[in-house]
Structure formats: structure tokens, C-alpha cells
Amino acid sequence: MPYQKTTNNNEVTFNVQPEPFINPVGGAFKWSAGCLLIPCAILIIGAGFGTGSIIGIIIFGSIGVGILYWFRKIGKKPKSVEEHRIAKVFTVNPTGITLDGKTYKREDIQFISVRNPLLTHNDIPFVQRGYEAYANAAQNQKTHAATVNYWVVMETNGIPVFLGCGLNELAANAIVSDVSNILGMKIS
């Protein structure tokens, strides 16, 4: 459940939970990188054994293991994504929003909107003939990841404040609608 709300007198508390993470550079990139990096690492380790010396085995083996370790790190989600995909709890009443101990007055809130940074650019890469499948797979993975990457952003005194990140589109729009109705703001 992306979010829950509880009512206490004239205040509504929202508990917003992000959806599970989908890596936008997942499948196709990892597959193609694995096809290139793993054989290279094995060849480099084999070259170390081909030298016949302990030092050659250690040097080439370290390089090969380093390549395999680097490939393993490629598939991890970036730290910046983890920082944005955190649970948020905030309280809304007709006079404003309280988030992380700070109160934002209704008069200071310019708007509340839904954004998705993965859908802001029309990324159609130049694809060389014969590599269309990789480009299509990468674009499909990015589109799939975008389904759970909606943000609810409140603009207050020129500063963006995140009310929820890592949401699906319906949950993000529902939060905007609920918060705007409580504040008495018009949804644009």
C-alpha cells in the first residue's frame, strides 16, 4: 500500500511508503555488460596462469577479480536513488502541512504537483544498425522503472519539498488530490 491516511479531529496524517525499486539500467545493460566483462575477466585471469609465475597469477588474477567485482557493483541501485526513496510521514490541516517537524503555511505553498524524472526527457538514442534490440530493451526497462518513480512535490517559497517519492502514478495523484482538498487549494 503506497500510502495510508488517518484522521484526528481536523488533521489528516499521511504515511507514504515508496514502491519497490526497479533499476532503470537493469536487464539489457547488465546482460550486455556481462557478455563483455565476464569473458574478459576470465581471459585476464587465464593470462595470469599462462605466465607461469606466481607474480603474474597474482597481478592478472587481481585485475580479473576486480573486473568481476566492478560488474557486480554495476547492478546495484545508486545511492542518490536510495536517498530519495524514503518513507514520509506528514500531517495536513486547513492551515498548512507539517513535515519533519517543520510547518509550511497554506499561504506559502504555491502548488503541489506530480513529477516523474524518468519521463521528463524523450530519450531516443542514436542506434547503429544491428543494435536495435539493446536500445529497445534499455528503453523498455527505463519505461518499466518509471511506473514506480513518481514524486509528489510541494513548492513553498521557491523551495521544492518532497511529500512522497517512488510512488505509482495513481497514488501520487491521490495524495495531491487529498492534500489539495484539505488545504482548500485548486488542483491545476
- Segment 16-63, tens digit of pLDDT: 998 887 766 665 555 555 566 667 667 777 776 777 777 777 777 777
* Cβ–Cβ under 8 Å, residues 102 and 112: no
Q: Are 88 and 163 within 8 A, CB to CB?
A: yes
- Residue 163 confidence class, pLDDT cut points 50, 70, 90: very high
Within its chain, how far is the Cα of 159 from the centroid?
A: 21
Instruction: Note the pLDDT of residue 60.
Output: 75
What average pLDDT does the segment 146-175 reach? 90
pLDDT for the residue numbered 186: 79
pTM listed for this prediction = 0.68
pLDDT band at 140 (very low <50, low <70, confident <90, very high): confident
User: How does pLDDT run across 87-135, given as a tens digit for each residue?
Assistant: 899 999 999 999 999 999 999 999 899 988 877 666 555 556 666 666 6
Residues β-bridged to residue 112: 154
Residue 123, phi then psi, degrees to nearest 5: -85, 95
Asked whether residue 14 carries a pLDDT value surpassing 90, the answer given is yes
In single-letter form, the type of residue at position 28 comes to A
Q: Which residues pair with 179 in a beta bridge?
A: none
